[in-house]
């Protein structure tokens, strides 16, 4: 099992599909996530940075080339809240552009789209 640095989320996305037509992961946002007690006490909402981290982890789990590392979060758009107990499904679209890999992702729950995220990855070790 790969070693993961400390981050804002506790779960690990499960790969649902990693093929030419669909790349997707899922994770259940557990009510015990460490971020809930301080984020809107009494009305817990999963922070957007945590949604982005699950997109990042899903991208790493489905990477089209070995050794990719996150180089930039190009854009994020939050569309609806994510709550404790939600099943978060992330669909990813990988494209190679120049010397980088771009990953466009949408994250959603049973209520619809929750976020749109674009990440850029580089190959090889950190500069």
Q: How far apart are CA 34 and CA 10, in angstroms?
A: 8
The catalytic residues are 39
């Amino acid at each position: 099992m790969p070693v993961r640095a400390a981050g804002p989320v506790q779960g690990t996305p499960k790969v649902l599909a990693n093929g030419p037509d669909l790349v997707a992961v899922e994770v259940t946002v557990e009510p015990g996530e460490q971020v809930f007690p301080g984020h809107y006490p009494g009305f817990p909402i999963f922070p957007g940075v945590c949604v982005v981290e699950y997109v990042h982890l899903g991208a790493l789990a489905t990477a089209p080339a070995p050794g990719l590392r996150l180089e930039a979060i190009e854009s994020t758009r939050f569309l609806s809240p994510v709550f404790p107990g939600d099943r978060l499904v992330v669909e990813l679209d990988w494209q190679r552009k120049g010397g980088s890999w771009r990953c466009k992702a949408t994250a959603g729950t049973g209520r619809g789209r929750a976020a749109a995220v674009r990440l850029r990855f580089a190959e090889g070790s950190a500069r």
